[in-house]
Structure 1
Amino acid sequence: MDNTNKNQNTSAEQKTIEYYNSKAEEFYESTVNADMSDQYYLFEKYLGNGAHILDCGCGSGRDSKHFLENGFKVTAIDGSEELCKKASELTGLEVKHMYFQDLNFDNDFDGVWACASLLHVEKDRLPDVLKKITRALKGGGVLYASFKYGDFSGERNGRFFTDLDDESFETLIADIPELVLKEKYISTDVRPGRENEHWLNAIVIKRKELCHKSKS
């Protein structure tokens, strides 16, 4: 990617990317075996056989590997070049090095999986990123997104985080008319020793009817 695109990251977001580049092996080892079966079920029940999924911020490649093994078509992206390499090795996919603000897909995916990834986007930039994700989805397509639960926004443990609670997430989605919140629930972190951390998990659907109207 060229320097123009890279300069679109804020300093906080760039620092987060540098964190993942420098700690790619450590992050990979701590996340690649996490049990995400509940979250997979929540997402996959809305998808048809062989659905095309965008793994948006794929990290270790753990989830892309799962989806591939279950018969889905997967396109995987991540903002960390080092994690792209790790995920490519794990999955056999050519993982694309891409930042969220550079998403340029149009009606390409049945589902977008954004697991613990959008939480690194600054809050005032989240609506624009969500609009790009909405455009990437086909009508009736499904988005899974997860955020650390709360109202914190700032640097934590060397990375930038935007935490969301029920109200702030619902407000975010309400500002994008093509999207409808289907379901959400709070879960605990599945990694050992982090059971006290809570996550907001949400399923959002892109309306079919608005898609038809926009084409007319």
Structure 2
Amino acid sequence: MVAENPEHSRRYIQRFRDLAAGGTDLGGEARMIDAMVGRGARILDAGCGTGRVGGFLLEAGHEVVGVDLDPELIAVARQEHPRGEWIVGDLAELDVRGEFDLVFSAGNVMTFVAPGTRVEILRRLGGCLREGGRVAVGFGADRGYDFDAFLADAATAGLAPELLLSTWDLRPFTPASDFLVAILAR
């Protein structure tokens, strides 16, 4: 995406700064993730961007490691949330130290990755979990990744759904949902 549109990162950064300045609630994903773990949990933000969600979780008392392919977004995360560990890296080659209580991928990340890498990414996300840990993935419909295909890929990667929602604010998933938040476990 950055190769096709060199201004993408700067526009993305500015868009979320403008939303925050305008009072838009940008903490929905983080509040749900925070509620899923005990205080002081170790959390992996897969596709962390500028650390918008991970930064909230740091402030809530968690240990956060964020990974994103875009060095410009990681630079903002490091500047704005220096207590986190922010890594430039490809989720398809994810290699982070230690295990996590929760791994999440918000912001339609799974729709931006190369389709041929999806199962491997899900396998690697699941492989980062401590015993009893979970993976939370959220993305919208009509983005080139059908929900049923995602769930099949998750199963191939050894992950099973524990809960399917249609929003990060805990609304039930239905066949008519235009967004999926999948809580998965090994």
- Higher-Rg structure is 1
Question: Are the aligned partners of 2:44 and 2:64 in contact in 1 as well (CA < 8 Å)?
Answer: yes
Q: CA RMSD in A?
A: 2.4
Give, in whole Å, the separation in 2 of the partners of 1:22 and 1:85.
Answer: 15
Q: Which amino acid aligns with 1:18?
A: A
Q: 1:24 maps to which residue?
A: 9
CA deviation vs aligned residue, 1:122-160 (integer Å, no higher than 9, x gap): 22321111111111111211111112213x53xxxxxxx
Q: Does 1:97 align with 2:82?
A: no
Superposition deviation, residue 187 in structure 1: 3.6
Superposition deviation, residue 46 in structure 1: 2.5
Q: Which amino acid aligns with 2:46?
A: C
Give, in whole Å, the separation in 2 of the partners of 1:94 and 1:20.
Answer: 27
**What is the TM-score of this pair, normalised by structure 2?**
0.80
Q: 1:205 maps to which residue?
A: 185
Q: Does 1:52 align with 2:42?
A: yes
* 5+ long unaligned stretches in structure 2: 169-176
Superposition deviation, residue 94 in structure 1: 4.5
**What is the TM-score of this pair, normalised by structure 1?**
0.70
Question: Are the aligned partners of 2:29 and 2:53 in contact in 1 as well (CA < 8 Å)?
Answer: no
Give, in whole Å, the separation in 2 of the partners of 1:204 and 1:87.
Answer: 26
Superposition deviation, residue 201 in structure 1: 1.4
Give, in whole Å, the separation in 2 of the partners of 1:20 and 1:72.
Answer: 34
Q: Which amino acid aligns with 1:133?
A: L
Matched length: 171
* 5+ long unaligned stretches in structure 1: 1-15, 154-162, 189-196, 207-216
Given the superposition, is the C-alpha separation of residues 146 and 79 from structure 1 closer, same or farther in structure 2, using an over 3 Å criterion?
A: same
CA deviation vs aligned residue, 1:84-114 (integer Å, no higher than 9, x gap): 1111111113521111122123651111121
Given the superposition, is the C-alpha separation of residues 140 and 107 from structure 1 closer, same or farther in structure 2, using an over 3 Å criterion?
A: farther
Correspondences of 1:83-122 after superposition (within 5 Å) = 83-92=73-82, 93-105=84-96, 108-115=99-106, 116-122=108-114
Q: 1:176 maps to which residue?
A: 157
Q: 2:141 maps to which residue?
A: 149
